[in-house]
Amino acid sequence: MAQSGREIKRRIASIESTQQITKAMEMIAAAKLRRTQEAVLATRPYFERLGTSLSHALAAAERSGEDIPEIVKTRTGQRHCLVVLTADRGLAGGYNSAVIRHAEEFLKEYPDTQMVIVGRKARDHFRRRNQTFLAEYVNLGDDPNPRQAQDIGQVIYDFYVHDLFDRVTILYTKFINTVTHRVEFRQVLPIAERDPELAPQGRTSPQALYLYEPSVNEVLEVVVPLFIDAAIFQSLVEAKASELGARMTAMRNASDNAGELIKELNLSFNRARQAVITKEIAEIVGGADALES
């Protein structure tokens, strides 16, 4: 019993140490999630309003009859660019695997897709499969900022205007709540095909008349790159909030499982100790009976 009991005690101590780590990681993820959740709530109205403004500008450009910028023209090709957003670290449940699984399905449907990778997990996964990337971004931290989105957006914009691909889609995880996240595809380019999504809601009321200076085309040349950057930044924030929520939930589940395992080990330890005590009592009683006889 001594050896067996010692091993059980050692396992209990080891699991308790792991439980302390998982509880600490849960608290850290929860604190970061609160900040990122505020950013999610702040960026959604901005992105929607920017999309509405872009829709108005596109409609004005069509009415003017002028030659619109190349960036907003419809393309008929099917050359895709997929921007994949994952985490740099694991311990987040099925967060990374869900995004990678959707990316794999996209690549099966469009084998010639060019990729822009954000996050170490996706980069390592596709690198092991000898998949090439247009660009990769890792170690962006837990607080996405507009400058990071601008760097990614500039790469996408440059390759798009140089006709390297016809469509740009962001694969990210939309934050619903702490325990619910949904993997989604967000088409960014071509802009003209996003009209149903960008169109203002509730057209029954009179629409405002906008005047664009110096011209609507020059406004579009400024707003479109801004919209691309905003789409990437908003997706980064959504993905980070989803990652932190998934990590917090995973660490809570790990702590709960550790607690249940500790209870089971304590029961096993008590049973083993009780069995040894019972055996010793039986030996003492047997020895006493032998002496009496």
The CA distance from 139 to 187, in Å, is 25
- Which residues on adjacent β-strands are paired with residue 280? none
Residue 196's pLDDT band, with cuts at 50, 70 and 90, is very low
Residue 262's H or E segment, with its range, is helix 216-292
Q: Which two tokens stand for residue 181?
A: 């996240």
272 versus 152: the higher-pLDDT residue is 152
Decide if 184 contacts 103 (C-beta within 8 A): no
Residue 218 reports pLDDT greater than 90: no
Residues 94, 97, 132: CA angle, nearest 5 degrees = 160
Q: What are 61-110's pLDDT values in tens digits?
A: 777 776 777 777 777 888 899 999 999 988 888 899 999 999 999 999 99
Question: Which phi and psi (to 5°) does residue 84 adopt?
Answer: -105, 125
Give the separation between CA 191 and CA 211, rounded to whole angstroms: 21
Q: Which domains does the chain have, with CATH numbers?
A: 2-21+255-286 (1.10.287.80), 27-198+208-250 (3.40.1380.10)
Q: Does 135 score more than 50 pLDDT?
A: yes
Average pLDDT, rounded, for the chain = 84
pLDDT for the residue 8 = 83
pLDDT band at 132 (very low <50, low <70, confident <90, very high): confident
Query: Cβ distance 161 to 71 under 8 Å?
Result: yes
pLDDT at res. 202 = 46
